[in-house]
Amino acid sequence: MTGAQILIECLIKEKVEVMFGYPGGVVLPIFDKLYDAPIRFILTRHEQGAAHAADGYARATGKVGVCLATSGPGATNLVTGIATAYMDSIPMVAITGQVKSFLIGNDAFQEADITGITRPITKHNYLVEDIKDLARIVKEAFHIASTGRPGPVLIDLPVDIQQQELEFHYPEKVEIRGYKPTYEGHPGQIKRAAKAISDAKKPILYVGGGTIISGASEEVRELAIKNEIPVTMTLLGLGAFPATHELSLGMLGMHGTAYANHAIMDSDLIISVGARFDDRVTGKVEAFAPHAKIIHIDIDPASVSKTVDVDIPIVGDAKTVLQELIKHMKKPDTKAWLQQIAEWKKSYPLKYKDDGLLRPQYVVEQICEVTKGEAIICTEVGQNQMWTAQYFKFIKPRTMLSSGGLGTMGYGFPAAIGAALGKPGVPVFDIAGDGSIQMNIQELATAVANKLPVKVAILNNCCLGMVRQWQELFYNKRYSYTCLEGVQPDFVKLAESYGAAGMRITKKEEVRPAIEKALAIDNTVFMDFRVEREENVFPMVPAGEAINRMIGGMA
Ligand SMILES: Cc1ncc(C[n+]2csc(CCOP(=O)(O)OP(=O)(O)O)c2C)c(N)n1
């Protein structure tokens, strides 16, 4: 087989059904083999779209997302998508063509040192130097991407190696020296953790994206409900525990609920599961949870005690560790604690002005009501993302797809395309800002060409809302380059020009019927919600403050 054929055979062995990408000179041998391969290839309109779509596919399905691009600009266009996946521990294999082996380092046409460029943003990367290594490298790439703390792996494949020939053997096993992720937690530490929880008066589960990746939502549910322990989630943890359950405190951190932040700050024991104490969660680290002991369950030893000193570290897979932990648990007495939390919830609910005007929070709430929370919701970045986190009641894991770690505007729409391909039949929304949606708007063509009924809800405030909010609150209302008014496209006409449907919604009472109508349309739909412009996301913890020092929440 040729190298290109070997690559395709390896992808088939890895059960790749869908991949995303864009062609170019040095990947022509691969594209030639893809022409009649039993893999659905999705031609995006920009390589960044391909990387985010692969990421969205991976988040929605739990499988490895695969993307393919040519050398030079094709490869560098993947970079933001790879970095996004890296920050959020998403399993992805990115394949790039490279110039002929003997030209590497020669400033050849469309040459970029993509392994050098992506070294800090991949879990691992390879430049294939010999066709004999190719099958092993692909096998290893899928293994590394999907095991331990998942992440993106890049394979750079020179065009001459794609054309060479070799007999094809796919290795059965993977042996990588020095790479043995720990799945089982230390039994002694698990027992210590169980005792600490049983003795606690004010315990709280702090649940992150690792819980969803590990498939540990059921265990979190069991631990919380049987033992009456309240649960707060990070942005990426949303869906791990149902927002509709009374033990749910919603999201914590910068735009978390007042009651989640107060509960964390007042707790005597934090049980962290697959979360990494990101600075958007901790706020001022020195002031974070002053009374709490911390149990930290994480598969990545490098994450443990990285920003916050923990008392009981447990390195291991969240699901495996929680299963063990549950066996050793004795129910703590949390009655008084839950009462206190109920009081906070009552006094400081999430709220927004209900004055009959079209407010963005209402749009999110209505999408949740109409779909009964049974949808996959992607977001862009900014206010749209935070309102989604606050007002959409996520009930299931793998239904909230958002760029948490990198905060990549332009992520949501291509991610929604990937999710729609991975989960046909499930309604998929991208809740967007009018700024973010323009960053990968070219993917309208991909969505329409593949008949993907993705619904894009643009919370159109005519500005880069989240940055405008910071300028209003911290820069004396000096709105420097955050206003998009007068230079915006007509999103309805734009969608229609691609063959998608477009709607404009200007009044509150039109919101629900529009969402219902959009769901009934078997096509990509852009909904242009003309929302109140100066709406802010509250509560808010100013950067660098302790997380109970909220504006717009309780003091
Ligand atoms: C690629 C990228 N560039 C810049 C930013 C910085 N940034 C964060 S939020 C934001 C504004 C987003 O505006 P919009 O998409 O309209 O959403 P809104 O906040 O109005 O909901 C910007 C510019 C970013 N996160 N990502």
Q: Do residues 115 and 157 touch, judged by C-beta distance below 8 A?
A: no
Domain boundary among 308, 323, 347: 347
What mean pLDDT do residues 258-272 have? 97
d(CA 53, CA 47): 10
Which residue has tokens 């950067």? 543
Same domain, yes or no, for 336 and 364?
no
Q: 242 lies in which domain range?
A: 187-347
What mean pLDDT do residues 484-512 have? 96
Question: In this structure, which residue's CA is closest to atom 10 in ligand 1?
Answer: 382
Q: List, for residues 167-204, the tens digit of each pLDDT value.
A: 999 999 999 999 999 999 999 999 999 999 999 999 99
Same domain, yes or no, for 195 and 267?
yes
Domain boundary among 287, 315, 347: 347
What mean pLDDT do residues 106-110 have? 96
Tally of domains within the chain: 3
The best mutation among 280, 466, 483 to test binding of ligand 1, ranked by most ligand atoms within 8 Å of the C-beta, falls on 466
Residue 45 maps to which CATH number? 3.40.50.970
What mean pLDDT do residues 279-293 have? 95
d(CA 491, CA 448): 15
Q: Do residues 155 and 216 touch, judged by C-beta distance below 8 A?
A: no
Inform me whether the pLDDT recorded for 555 exceeds 50.
no
Amino acid at 54: A
Same domain, yes or no, for 404 and 297?
no
Alpha helices, DSSP H, located in 372-510: 383-391, 412-422, 444-449, 465-474, 491-497
What mean pLDDT do residues 476-494 have? 95
Q: Which atom of ligand 1 is nearest to the CA of 465?
A: 20
pTM for this prediction? 0.98
Domain boundary among 318, 347, 376: 347
Report the 10 Å Cβ neighbour count for 481: 9
Same domain, yes or no, for 327 and 223?
yes
Q: Do residues 220 and 313 touch, judged by C-beta distance below 8 A?
A: no
Q: List, for residues 326-372, the tens digit of each pLDDT value.
A: 999 999 999 999 999 999 999 999 999 989 999 999 999 999 999 99
Q: Which atom of ligand 1 is nearest to the CA of 464?
A: 13
Mean pLDDT, all residues of the chain:
97
Same domain, yes or no, for 393 and 326?
no
Same domain, yes or no, for 194 and 84?
no
Question: In this structure, which residue's CA is closest to atom 11 in ligand 1?
Answer: 464
Which residue has tokens 């792996």? 153
Same domain, yes or no, for 325 and 439?
no
Same domain, yes or no, for 146 and 203?
no
Taking the alpha carbons of 121, 433, 417, 515 in that order, is the dihedral positive or negative? positive
d(CA 317, CA 134): 30
Q: Is residue 456 part of a domain?
A: yes
Same domain, yes or no, for 199 and 331?
yes
Same domain, yes or no, for 267 and 292?
yes
Same domain, yes or no, for 157 and 226?
no
Q: Is residue 8 part of a domain?
A: yes
3-state SS record for 84-140: HHHHCCCCEEEEEEECCHHHCCCCCCCCCCHHHHHHHHCCEEEECCCHHHHHHHHHH
Residue 487 confidence (pLDDT): 87
Q: List, for residues 110-132, the tens digit of each pLDDT value.
A: 999 999 999 999 999 999 999 99
Q: How confident is the model at residue 323 (pLDDT cuts 50, 70, 90)?
A: very high
What mean pLDDT do residues 220-239 have? 98
Q: Is residue 451 part of a domain?
A: yes
Which residues contact ligand 1 via a Cβ below 6 A? 380-384, 407-410, 433-436, 459, 461, 464-467
Q: How confident is the model at residue 553 (pLDDT cuts 50, 70, 90)?
A: low
Q: How confident is the model at residue 486 (pLDDT cuts 50, 70, 90)?
A: confident
Same domain, yes or no, for 194 and 340?
yes
CA of 49 to the centre of ligand 1 (A): 17
Inform me whether the pLDDT recorded for 554 exceeds 80.
no
